[in-house]
Structure 1
Amino acid sequence: MLRPNKTVPDDWPPITPASAGPSGGAKAGESLPPELSLTPRRPLRTSFMLVVPLALSLLASVNRLPASDQADGAAGQSAQSASPATQPGAQAAPHQAPPEKKDEFKINVDVSLVVLHATVLDRRGGRPVDDLGRDSFRVYEDGVPQKLSVFSHADIPVTMGIVIDDSGSMREKRPGVNAAALAFVKTSNVQDQAFVVNFNDVYYLDTPGDFASNLEDLKSALDKIDSRGGTALYDAVNAALDHLKLGNRDKKVLLVITDGEDNASRYTFEQLVGTAQKSSAAIYCIGLLGEEQPGGLFKMKGGEAKRAAKVLKQLAEFTGGQAYFPKTLDEVGSTCVHIAHDIRNQYTLAYYPSNTRKDGTFRTVRVEALGPDRHTRLLVRTRTGYYAPREASALASGQ
C-alpha cells in the first residue's frame, strides 16, 4: 500500500500551477497517478484512475415516484419524504444499508445519462424554493437546451464523507467542530452511508470498515484527534473523493472543514479540481478563516485568509456545493445543520445529452428555474459541468 509522501518543499505554494505539480502536473480532466491513499489508522485503497463519473452512469428508473408521474419515459415530482432534519429530536444515524424498500428512489446504471442535484433559492432572501415542478426547469449543455428525462424532489439517500482538518492550529477548535459534525450526521436519512477522514500533513480513514455502521462509530472517528503538523487539504479531499466510489448511493457529498491554506499536499489545486469534476460529488466547505475573534481561535489574516477562501469557494462552486465562513465556533454548528437541510431538499434532474459524441471533453452545464408564476427567475446551484465518457478506441489510442 502506497502512503503519502510527507516531504514537501518549504516554498511549495498553496495553489500551484499544473506544471509545478508532482509527476509533472496533470491538467484538469486528466487521470492522476496512483500515488496517494488514506493511511493508518485504517488504510484505504485508492486508485485515482480515470473513471466515468457516477453522474454519467445512472439510468432513469425512479421507483419511488407515482406511476402517473413516470409517463413520457421520465419521473415527475413526488411528495417530498419527511427527513429527520425536519422532525424534532431526530437522532437517526447513518448505518450500513438495510434491504431496499420497493418505494425507494433509485436510479440504475446507464453511462449516457447525466444526473444533476440542484438547490434552488429565491433571489431576495436566499430561501429554499421547494414547490417547483418539471416545467419550471431548463437545462443547457454547452448552451444547447436539453430534454429532461428524470425529475424528482425527494430526500435521496447519500454517500457522504466528513473531511476534517486536524493540523496543529485546529487543536482548540476540534471539540466544537466535532459537535457540529455530529449535528450534521444526526439529520441523516437512515439509508445514508458515511465515513470520516481526519487530516494534517497525512490523512486517515477513521471509520471501521468502509462506512460507519452507527452514530457511535462516527463519534469515535471524530474523536481520534492528533492535532499537529501541516495541512494536506488537497491530498485528503482527493482521497475522500476516491473513497466515495465505494458507496452505492445515487448522491455523493463531501463536507470539508479546515482553518487554513494547504501547505503539505503533493497534489495541486488544479489536479484536485480535475478529480472533482470527474466525480458527481457536491463538496461543501466550511472555512474557519476570519479575523481573530475573542478567545484567539480564528487567526488567519490578510492575503493568507483570502487565498484559502478562494480555494474553498472555487471547489464548492465547481461541484454544486457551497462554501461558508463562520466567525465563531457556535456558527459552525448552525452552518452544518443548514448544509444538511440543503442536501435533503434538492431537486434531481437528469437528461440524455443531445451531443452523443464520446470524446472525453468537458461539457458545461447550466440550469435555469422559474418560480410558480413562471416569471420570477430563481437562483440555481448545481455542478458546472462534467467530462463526457470516451470510446474504448479513443482510450486505446491515447486521444
Structure 2
Amino acid sequence: MRRFRRFCYSITVLLDAPSEQVWTSQVAEFTGAQDTEGTGRDVVRKWQWAHWLAAILWVTAVLGAAQQPPEQKPQDIPDAPSATRPPQPFPPPTAPVQPEPENPPAAGDQASPNQPPKPSIKTVPEGAATPDGKNTRDELYTLTTRVNFVVVPVTVKDKNTGNVVDGLLPKDFSVYEDGVKQKLSYFTSDPFFLSAAVIFDLGLPDASVQKINQTFAALQGAFSQYDQVSLYTYSSTVSRLTDFTQVNQRLVQALNELKLDRGRNSGIPVTSGPLATGPVINGLPVGGGPVSVSTPPKESHVLNDAILRAALELAKQDRTRRKIIFVISDGRELGSTASYADTLKILLTNQISVYGVGTDTSSLPAYKQLSRLHLPRQGYDNLLPRYASATGGEVFPELSRPAIETAYTKAMDDARNQYTLGYQAKGTLATTCRDLEVRVDVPDLDVRARAGYCPLPPVREGPGVNP
C-alpha cells in the first residue's frame, strides 16, 4: 500500500517533469530495476491517460448527481373526476396548533396598568339573534300579529319604459292614511309566492275565445312551481274548474278540457222566419197548432259575481302568499247579483289585487273613451280597469296572441316582485274603510298601490268563541 501511494505521487511528479531521466529514475525506484529500453516512459504515459480518464469519470458522476431532481414527498391531491367511480372527498383541513403560554396568568392577577382596558361586549340571550336592520318576507307574519298593522304592496315602474324599478330604499317611500303621513315599521323587496284565481270570460265572441285557448301554454309558464292556481269561467253564471293547486298535471288537464268550450255567436239572433219557427202557411204553422214565438236569450256577463266568488275563496288561502285575481275578459258587466262596491270591499279587506288582460273590444285604442258612454242593457265596459286601479293591479289591453302571452308574464312578475311596506295604524282600530296614498320621492315614476283598506270586523270574545 505504501509503495502504491509513492507510485501515485511519482506519477504526479512525472506529469510535471520535463526530462525522461526523471521518468526512468522514478520507474526504477518503483520496480527496483534499471530502465534501459524506455519502458518507464511507456508506463508513465499509460498511467497518465488512466489518471485523466479517472478524473473525467469522477467529474461526470458529480455533475449527473447534481442534475437529478430531489425526491419529492407525495402530496394528498384528489383525483380528477371520473365517470366510472364516485368523486372522493377532500381531506379534512388540519387546524393550526395554538402554542400554549409558558406562564399563564393566575386567576387573581390584576391587569397591568400599561395595558389598555378590554372593551365591553354585550351578548344576546341564548336562542336570540342580533337585529340587522333589514326585514324579510317571513318576518311580516311572524313578528307582527296585531290586527291594526297595515300592509301595502307597491309596484314602481318607469313612466318612459314601463319597466319595474328596483333598488329603492325605505326613505324613498311615504305612506299617507286619510291624508296623514305614517311611520313605516316594515319594508322589504323580497318576492312572494302567489295564490292566483284565473277567470276566463266565455261570453266573448267565439273567435276571441279560441285565440285565448291557444295561449294556455304561456299561461302555465308564467307561474312558478311554488305558486297556487285556481281556474274559473263565467258568462251568465260562474263555474269553478279546479281548486287551488300547484301547476301540475291536474291543472294542465283542466286547461285542455277548457279548450273545448266555445264562445258566443256574434251574429244576429234569429227570432222569426222558417229557421226560427218552422214552415208556415198564411202565418200559421203547417199541421196546425199554436204560433210559436221565439225570443233571443238574455245575455249576461256576471263579472262582479265571478270576482266575488274568487275573492271569497282566495281569502281562505295562506296569508303569507300574495293574493291576486287574474281576469281575461273584455271587462263588461251585466246582470250580476253582487254590486261593484260590495265586491271591492271584499277585495280591500282581504288584500287581493286584480290584474287582467283586456281582449276583444277592450283592447282597441279608443276603448277608454267609448267605455264612458253607457248604453242601456249593454252593461258597463269600465269595471275591470276600475277594479285594477283600486286594488293596485293593472290591466294589459292586448289584441294579438303573442301580446296576450307576453301580458301573462308581465302580470305575474309585477305581482310577485313588489315592494312591501307596513306600518302600525294609530289610535283605535278603524271600523270603516280608510284611504291610502303612496308617494315615491323620485321623479318620472309610476306608483301603483291599493287605494285604501277595509279592516276586518273585530273578533268577539265570549262563551264558545275562540279569541
CA 152–310 in structure 1, closer or farther in 2 if over 3 Å, else same: same
Query: Residues 363 and 397 of structure 2 are in contact (CA less than 8 Å); yes or no, is this contact kept in structure 1?
Result: no
**SS state at 1:172 partner:** helix
Alignment partners' CA distance in 2, 1:113 and 1:316: 23
**SS state at 2:402 partner:** helix
Q: What do you get for the CA RMSD once the two structures are aligned? A: 3.1
CA 313–69 in structure 1, closer or farther in 2 if over 3 Å, else same: farther
Alignment partners' CA distance in 2, 1:104 and 1:186: 26
Give runs of aligned pairs for residues 360-399 of structure 1, distance below 5 A: 360-371=431-442, 376=443, 378-391=445-458
CA 185–346 in structure 1, closer or farther in 2 if over 3 Å, else same: farther
Q: Does 1:338 align with 2:410?
A: yes
Deviations 1:334-390 (A, max 9, x none): 111111221122111111112x2224111111111134xxxx363210101012344
Give runs of aligned pairs for residues 226-237 of structure 1, distance below 5 A: 227-228=263-264, 230-237=300-307
**SS state at 1:235 partner:** helix
**SS state at 1:313 partner:** helix
Q: Does 1:239 align with 2:298?
A: no
Q: Does 1:160 align with 2:160?
A: no
Q: What's the TM-score once normalised by structure 2's chain length?
A: 0.55
Higher helix share: 2
| 1:283 matched residue in structure 2 | 354
Alignment partners' CA distance in 2, 1:110 and 1:185: 36
| 2:187 matched residue in structure 1 | 151
Give runs of aligned pairs for residues 168-207 of structure 1, distance below 5 A: 169-207=204-242
Alignment partners' CA distance in 2, 1:161 and 1:357: 33
CA 220–175 in structure 1, closer or farther in 2 if over 3 Å, else same: farther
Q: Does 1:311 align with 2:383?
A: yes
Deviations 1:47-74 (A, max 9, x none): xxxxxxxxxxxxxxxxxxxx77753xxx
Moved more, 144-153 or 266-275: 266-275
| 1:107 matched residue in structure 2 | 141
Alignment partners' CA distance in 1, 2:331 and 2:181: 40
Alignment partners' CA distance in 2, 1:388 and 1:329: 40
Moved more, 330-339 or 265-274: 265-274
Alignment partners' CA distance in 1, 2:248 and 2:394: 25
In the alignment, residue 438 of structure 2 is paired with which amino acid? V
In the alignment, residue 262 of structure 1 is paired with which amino acid? E
In the alignment, residue 194 of structure 2 is paired with which amino acid? V
Alignment partners' CA distance in 2, 1:155 and 1:234: 29
Alignment partners' CA distance in 2, 1:393 and 1:106: 25
Q: Does 1:255 align with 2:326?
A: yes
The correspondence for 1:271, drawn from 342, 354, 364, is 342
Q: What's the TM-score once normalised by structure 1's chain length?
A: 0.64
**SS state at 1:198 partner:** strand
CA 365–242 in structure 1, closer or farther in 2 if over 3 Å, else same: same
Moved more, 262-271 or 243-252: 262-271
Give the superposition deviation at 1:172: 2.5
Alignment partners' CA distance in 2, 1:162 and 1:107: 26
CA 182–146 in structure 1, closer or farther in 2 if over 3 Å, else same: farther
Alignment partners' CA distance in 1, 2:230 and 2:457: 31
In the alignment, residue 383 of structure 1 is paired with which amino acid? R
Moved more, 259-268 or 157-166: 259-268
| 2:244 matched residue in structure 1 | 211
Give runs of aligned pairs for residues 90-129 of structure 1, distance below 5 A: 107-108=141-142, 109-129=145-165
| 2:7 matched residue in structure 1 | none
CA 122–233 in structure 1, closer or farther in 2 if over 3 Å, else same: same
Query: Residues 289 and 309 of structure 1 are in contact (CA less than 8 Å); yes or no, is this contact kept in structure 2?
Result: no
In the alignment, residue 366 of structure 1 is paired with which amino acid? E
Query: Residues 200 and 328 of structure 2 are in contact (CA less than 8 Å); yes or no, is this contact kept in structure 1?
Result: yes
**SS state at 1:120 partner:** strand
Alignment partners' CA distance in 1, 2:330 and 2:215: 15
The correspondence for 1:135, drawn from 171, 181, 191, is 171
Query: Residues 153 and 419 of structure 2 are in contact (CA less than 8 Å); yes or no, is this contact kept in structure 1?
Result: yes
Give runs of aligned pairs for residues 48-63 of structure 1, distance below 5 A: none
Name the structure, 1 or 2, with higher relative contact order (CA <8 Å, separation 6+).
1
In the alignment, residue 165 of structure 2 is paired with which amino acid? V
Deviations 1:208-242 (A, max 9, x none): xx312433322332333354563211101110000
**SS state at 1:218 partner:** helix
| 1:325 matched residue in structure 2 | 397
Alignment partners' CA distance in 2, 1:273 and 1:313: 12
Query: Residues 359 and 390 of structure 1 are in contact (CA less than 8 Å); yes or no, is this contact kept in structure 2?
Result: no
**SS state at 1:115 partner:** strand
Q: Percent identity?
A: 24
Structure 2 unpaired stretches of 5+: 1-128, 265-298, 462-467
**SS state at 2:382 partner:** helix
**SS state at 1:211 partner:** strand
Alignment partners' CA distance in 1, 2:385 and 2:430: 29
In the alignment, residue 392 of structure 2 is paired with which amino acid? G
Deviations 1:250-270 (A, max 9, x none): 311010111352223112223
CA 176–226 in structure 1, closer or farther in 2 if over 3 Å, else same: closer
Alignment partners' CA distance in 2, 1:182 and 1:189: 13
- Max Rg structure: 2
